Structure 1
Amino acid sequence: MKRISAGLLILFMSISAKSQVKVGFEVSFTEPQAHYAEMEMNISGLVKDYIDVKMPVWAPGSYLVREFAKSVEGFSAAAGGKTVPVEKIRKNTWRVYSAKAKSIKIRYRVYAFEVSVRTPFIDESHAFLSSTGIFMYPDGLLNLPSTVKVNPFKGWGKVSTGLEPVAGEKFTYTASNFDILFDSPIEVGNQDVFEFMASGVKHEVAMYGGGNYDKERLKVDMAKVVEQATAIYGENPNKHYTFIVHNFNTGGGGLEHLNSTVLGASRRGYTNEKTYKGFLELVAHEYHHLWNVKRLRPIALGPFDYDNENYTTNLWVAEGFTSYFENKLMFRAGFNTMAQTIQSMATAVAGVVNTPGAKIQTVAEASYDAWIKSYRPNENSSNTTISYYSKGEIVGMLMDLEIIQATKGAKNLDDVMKTMYAEYYKKLGRGYTDAEFKTMVEKISGISFTEFWKVYVNGTDPIDYTKYFGYAGVTVKNENEGKSVPYLGVASKITEGKVMISSVSRNSAAWDGGLNVNDRVLSVDEIYIDSALERNPAVTGKKVGESVVVRVLRDGIVKDFKIALKANPNIKLLATLKEDATEAELKVRNKWLK
């Protein structure tokens, strides 16, 4: 028998000791109308003088420190039926002085009353448990398995989650580690549940809040999205997948998880074709995350640090590319025509070009600064920042077209994503760096992307959209070109009948002339203003170069500003398919979308 070294023996003993540690949760609801979850956490086999338990400060996929511990109250612990001392030692950490007890029982309550896809919410009708805002973990032991038993409130009869059920135990689930538990939201109540099969995987849809949806139509259409997304990567890694859909009077947004997603929707929007299509776009976006970011991910995004920000410069790939593939999936699934798809992309290009912040912040910087800027916008954000969603979507489109052009229609961005998934998720089991992603793009395309990265990823150069659309035989026309339209450069909103300035665009007439956000507009050239200032005839009826006198109320003081109107700098793009496209252009076009 081979002798085991002392170091290995200690390691084996450590692993064995951890394998004896058990963590179980029980979730109950005694006052759901007051928005509380009653939590019980049982830890056994961790024999120490004290145990530190923590609550995450953020939810993966939503890059903002949300301080979930702020909603915790009544934290207490017991061992052997007796209360043991506890102490809060950090904003999200409680120390339990367990005195080497073999098992301890921790109790706490969580207040949950924020409606979003990333935060828990509880009322008399249901409980949505966004796991990072509900469950705690023993410090340093994220790899431990755990079980969760849900005790629905009286009258509630269903639980929907991506967690694995424990055989023979009703409403009891297991997670092999805390990363999986924190990536598995739970819906409890009387949600309407239906299923469909797609790509060999059972998909459950849990609808909360009612609505005018057609279940049979959704089964067919959602399956089309699933099939097209799976086709990109060649496999669907899940045994089952859960859509948790919250239907409100007005709703939106989504958050991806390992084998589930949470979507917000408008309960009466399913019979409106535009709104229905918007819901399917949301499905396409979040489902594509199943591969991009949940498995194929920037290296900083896992293993997660739940105490702090996890910085990466690659959210433009994780989120921006997902927005881009959302367009491709909608076309491939048959929901949009090719003309509609390219026009949507042209409009997205214009949206980026027309954002002043696109000239200030790179898409890599936008990714890194998500934690302090993206989720905390202010009145000046459009002047200083660009969304890694919108700019990333455009970078994905440009990169796709560049690859197709370079390979004469043989390869595209799909090939990059599929190969990256196989290499870094399946083979290496880790995330990728920015340099590694660039290397793969160059390998697939056969050309250098150094200049591309310099211009579009790490730079703020203008987008050469005419060149890239031209590869695919698409003509793009700026409908504002040659026009001289007067432009004040503000956005306004009507608040209790008052016209209030809500933003001022960088280098616009209003910017130069001194108008401020929160100014109440009283008149223009002594004409009373009671509608949106930017569309008011008192402004639009003027000529470029003419001046207007804008009277505002600022901090209780009436002020007049004489402002010389400038020409509107914004572009409006119209994309059309060339009827006389060359064979090479048609080859690019077909590889691009089909």
Structure 2
Amino acid sequence: MIKTSILGLVILLFAGMTAKSQVKIRFDISFTEPQAHYTEVEMNISGLVKDYIDIKMPVWAPGSYLVREFAKSVEGFGATANGKILKHEKVRKNTWRVYTAKANALKIKYRVYAFEVSVRTSFIDESHAFLSSSGIFMYPEGLLKTPSTVKINPYKGWTKVSTGLEPVSGQQFTYTAADFDILFDSPIEVGNQDVFEFMASGLKHEVAMYGGGNYDKERLKVDMAKIVEQGTAIYGENPNKHYTFIVHNFSSGGGGLEHLNSTVLGAKRDAYVTETGYKGFLELVAHEYYHLWNVKRMRPVALGPFDYDNENYTTNLWIAEGFTAYYENKLMLRAGFTDEKGFVDALVTAVSNVSNTPGNKVQSVAEASYDAWIKYYRPNENSNNTTVSYYAKGEVVGLLMDLEIAHATKGTKSLDDVMKAMYLQNKAQKRGYTDAEFKAMVEKISGASFTDFWAKYVNGTTAIDYHKYFGYAGINITNENEGKSIPYLGIATKNQGGRVFITTVSRNSAAWVDGLNVNDEVISADGAPVEIAIDKMAAVAGKKVGETVTFKVARDGILKDITVTLKASPNLKLVGQIDEKATELQKAVRKAVLFK
């Protein structure tokens, strides 16, 4: 009896696996009204063995930790089989249930409205279409591991498609994805983008430029290749067959989003000819390309396999994003786009900025990672007082950890060794890492305990001991505000049509204690009109700590006089200087961190 039941179960499982393997999915993407910002999606599914199937749209885009509710942009959902309309109903905010009527194949059609300019959301107009795949393609529940084919039908006059998806041989603008994780991780640019290529680390890199710009293609080919080579050198291998950069050039732009073998970058079209603008673009390239290893392969265990219906919580975004911010500096240094002084100055500034953030005393970087879904991407006027960026604090923690490892090993090891070891370990295990596993690897490489480090800087809010850590590398730090009593008000303002409004009030500042509020309109300060009072903080200039300033403000249309007693500024103003008389150990630490 037991043997018969087991045999029956095996037969059922085998039959289910066979049926699943026979399911075929194909998408056809068209654009009949791009000027109205729509794309038409046709999804063909065959090989079904169910009475109904749930079709789902992801609610977020991996790499951007916010539920964006992509289903809100879907309209006209419908399904047919053998030319007949199938019954369907919406059973969840992002789920449509289609009753198959025993049909073996069905066709689903829907439209998506796309008109949000960012690296993580789709945008379509008469000039091009950018498809951020997790907001365009739906998937059948339970079939995330099923392959799919995507056919792009460009709008008239459009001639190019750029994507990291694998092309289907002999079929123009047709691509294949081994599963939906890969499909959702492969953005698509359609239009007449300027495309050029370069070779680096043994693979072809395609750059698709939309929006024009004053970039020099030949210069970019050389300089982007240098960044690729430096990233590959850290890990010893480049896991891709090819890589695609999709670059959107606008009058003002920025940001990037990493993908498995591609990235989307936002840039300012006229900034390539300035030193600051060009360097800023290369820093963005360095950041997103480094993600090829950190996050896309070596990632927190919670970030894969993905749950596309809900938030995916992890306490380790400080590694995923913060360390990537730190390594963009390393790649820029090692590729020759900055020098030792520039590298040190950037990181000293990073330490100052984090130390001067009131929220750094309230929220740990592990908490900032976990709460990214509800705090980082949804800031308010008080966020600076209650939160810290896992990018900014993670960058600083990466620096401190790097210096600690190099010091403990007398310059023979660095954070590079930890990152490579974790990448290879995750590759062998075919899964992500836990916080405990990452800490264990740091301790294995360094030969030192990091329990106190984790308690202070990862799970705690201890003030950064910058003298100690920079001292490991023979870098002397001076706080130029130390010993000074600098009067400090503690507000930020915005000018709106000639009227000045308070936008932030810093925790425990004079303004905080004495009651100036966000949204107060500043009318005058000590009787001086607002344009004089606010310009370069003239109301504070010449005052001393302990003296007062009387503000007249309008709060909800009611005039109020608020007297503020000035307090001393708590902010650091750090300056770093490389010690030319550094010890041999300090020089070894510096070399390991900078140039290993």
How big is the shift at 1:535? Answer: 2.6
User: What does residue 436 of structure 1 align with?
Assistant: 437
* Partner deviation per Cα, 1:460-517 (whole Å, 9 max, x = no partner): 0000011000000001111111222111000011111111101000000000010011
User: What does residue 122 of structure 1 align with?
Assistant: 124
User: What does residue 391 of structure 1 align with?
Assistant: 393
C-alpha distance 85-531 of structure 1, shift in aligned 2 (>3 A): farther
Kept in 2: contact 1:488–1:534 (CA 8 A): no
Secondary structure in 2 aligned to 1:538? Answer: coil
Amino acid in structure 2 at the alignment position of 1:320: G
Secondary structure in 1 aligned to 2:539? Answer: helix
Distance 1:427 1:398 in 2: 28
Secondary structure in 1 aligned to 2:198? Answer: strand
* Partner deviation per Cα, 1:317-350 (whole Å, 9 max, x = no partner): 0000000001111000000000110010000000
Distance 1:261 1:48 in 2: 37
Alignment of 1:35-114 (within 5 A): 35-114=37-116
Alignment of 1:212-227 (within 5 A): 212-227=214-229
TM-score normalised to the size of structure 1? Answer: 0.98
Secondary structure in 1 aligned to 2:564? Answer: strand
Distance 1:540 1:282 in 2: 38
Distance 2:458 2:410 in 1: 24
Amino acid in structure 2 at the alignment position of 1:319: E
Alignment of 1:373-522 (within 5 A): 373-424=375-426, 426-522=427-523
User: What does residue 174 of structure 2 align with?
Assistant: 172
Distance 1:541 1:9 in 2: 87
How big is the shift at 1:11? Answer: 2.7
Distance 1:207 1:144 in 2: 32
Kept in 2: contact 1:348–1:394 (CA 8 A): yes
Distance 1:291 1:359 in 2: 31
Secondary structure in 2 aligned to 1:530? Answer: helix
How big is the shift at 1:6? Answer: 4.2
Amino acid in structure 2 at the alignment position of 1:404: A
Amino acid in structure 2 at the alignment position of 1:393: E
* Partner deviation per Cα, 1:110-129 (whole Å, 9 max, x = no partner): 00000000000000000000
Secondary structure in 2 aligned to 1:292? Answer: coil
Kept in 2: contact 1:499–1:532 (CA 8 A): no
User: What does residue 347 of structure 1 align with?
Assistant: 349
Distance 2:587 2:330 in 1: 17
Kept in 1: contact 2:25–2:148 (CA 8 A): yes
Distance 2:588 2:339 in 1: 18
Kept in 1: contact 2:247–2:266 (CA 8 A): yes
Amino acid in structure 1 at the alignment position of 2:561: D
Alignment of 1:310-329 (within 5 A): 310-329=312-331
Percent identical among aligned pairs is 73
Secondary structure in 2 aligned to 1:540? Answer: coil
Amino acid in structure 2 at the alignment position of 1:141: L
* Partner deviation per Cα, 1:204-242 (whole Å, 9 max, x = no partner): 000000000000000000000000000000000000000
User: What does residue 160 of structure 2 align with?
Assistant: 158
Does the alignment pair 1:565 with 2:566?
A: yes
Does the alignment pair 1:196 with 2:194?
A: no
* Partner deviation per Cα, 1:545-569 (whole Å, 9 max, x = no partner): 1001011111000001011001111
Amino acid in structure 1 at the alignment position of 2:418: V
Distance 2:232 2:403 in 1: 22
User: What does residue 143 of structure 2 align with?
Assistant: 141
Secondary structure in 2 aligned to 1:476? Answer: strand
Structure 1: where are the runs of 5+ without partners? none
User: What does residue 259 of structure 2 align with?
Assistant: 257
Amino acid in structure 2 at the alignment position of 1:31: E
Distance 1:475 1:346 in 2: 10
Alignment of 1:519-530 (within 5 A): 519-530=520-531
Kept in 2: contact 1:160–1:206 (CA 8 A): yes
Kept in 2: contact 1:492–1:534 (CA 8 A): no
How big is the shift at 1:531? Answer: 6.1
Distance 1:503 1:532 in 2: 17
RMSD: 1.1
- Residue among 31, 34, 45 paired with 2:33: 31
Greater CA drift, 567-576 or 65-74: 567-576
Distance 2:511 2:308 in 1: 44
Distance 1:502 1:533 in 2: 13
